[in-house]
Amino acid sequence: MDSLTSQRAGLESGEFSSVELVEATLSRAEAEGRTLGAVVGLRGESALSEAAASDSRLRAGEARSPLEGTPFLLKDNMVMQGEPTTCASKILEPFISPYEGAMAEKLRAAGAIVIGRTNMDEFAMGSSTENSIFGPSHNPWDPTRTCGGSSGGAAAVVAAGVTGYALGSDTGGSIRQPASFCGVVGMKPTYGRVSRFGLVAFASSLDQIGPMTRTARECAWVLEAISGHDERDSTSIPEPAPRLESALDGDVSGLRIGLPKEYFVEGGTDPEVLARVHAGIKELESAGAKIVEVSLPHTEYVVATYYLVATAEASSNLARYDGARYGRRAEGVQDLDEMYRRSRSEGFGDEVKRRILLGTYVLSAGYFDAYYRKAQQVRTLVRNDFQKAFDTCDLIAGPTYPETAFGLGAKVDDPVSMYLGDIFTVSANLAGLPAISIPCGFAEGRPVGLQLLGPALGEAGLLRAADAFQRRTDFHEKRPVLDGISERIQELEKAR
């Protein structure tokens, strides 16, 4: 019952009920999920009540979608009415949402049952899920290593089989990088394909919600359910939800896959990672795809550009957390200025403060043109690079991340090193393009991700290629060994 496919089959055959499935998933979430540091909140009674209603629909033959009766988890930056949303930050610890976000709303409308929330980097700012008031999340394949970030908890629960799918958010790779580290499928849709209503904003022009699953087919089921125009989100594309499953025919004959020469330079990526990625591309080539070389000449500037745009937008978005309206308020203050200053200094963690300061600087008088405006100009050049590349290819392939999962604590004191690792993922966010990471092998026992990028609204083509790859390989069927992982994590915590 650890994959969405097996859950769907069991529910349809009557092997088990939705109530039984949700009970079992809640039990695993309480055990393995919390042990891994991946689950931060559960809603037992409400979820079981929704599961009972789903069972009634299943018995009546009134299933709303392929997700009917299946449990899932939301990243802790997507609101649910009457439930906490903390963004893994002290400043939002007391917050209870007064309204329902689009993701909980859409998936419930599809018959799915939200059972709780997953751990993340504070306000989605990080690549290791270590910047969290709940502590770090551990990689199910090796608990001494990170599961990635900022959607690390979501990737970990899917990899560990706690639940068949989860939702993450991706601002610069925060779905795809943890998917790569944990050996699952993670997709960032086209910007505007999925509503951001109810997603706590980090960088509004970059943020996008997407699914994390075991297979491309399961990813298609979830993406169909959460896509579509939402008038409550001004950036939502006026397009209906796409029909994706019908595109998964296993045929990639004649598909042109572009390999950017900038993604395969020596010295920039772990050789073992590159070997697995090349092998994955060869697999697609043997299935009938045609490999062509392309160029993305502004790749060397994307990390700097991203961290100027993202931090500027973060500085603006996080200005609302001032202790006056909701969230944490400092006690014993003498005046309004002290309330603002202490509420924010006590409520935000170091990485969030770092990004607010950088963003405030690049937006300040005298520096706006030199930094923020220049970054937006380079962003246009990056978008143009992709448009030119897609004139000669249908998809672009490369590594998801330059290395496999690194050790917990290895980069905590070296944020620049952490930032540089985003070299292959941030471009899709800057250009607003869809991208997917799929497991393509292992290096020293740790999962490696193959990233595919497509043109705007090209999710069907990405999923077709990913599904064709998974029909020919079995990497997505591999499972981490969880026996004894609780004891190993306890030993790590004692040693820390």
Catalytic residues, which ones? Answer: 75, 150, 174
Q: How far apart are CA 21 and CA 451, in angstroms?
A: 32
Q: How far apart are CA 387 and CA 360, in angstroms?
A: 32
Burial of 272-311, coded b for 16+ CB within 10 Å and e otherwise, reads bbbebbbebbebbeebebeeeebebebbebbbbbbbbbbb
3-state secondary structure 176-233: HHHHHHHCCEEEECCCCCECCCCECCCCCCCCEEEEEECCHHHHHHHHHHHECCCCCC
Beta bridge partners of 73: 116, 166
Unique residue bearing structure tokens 């439930």: 83
CB 194, CB 208: distance < 8 Å? yes
Burial of 445-474, coded b for 16+ CB within 10 Å and e otherwise, reads ebbbbbbbbbbbbbbbbbbbbbbbbbeebe
Element (H, E) at 166: strand 166-170
Rg of the chain over Cα atoms, rounded to whole angstroms, equals 21
CA 386 to chain centre: 22
Q: How far apart are CA 257 and CA 241, in angstroms?
A: 26
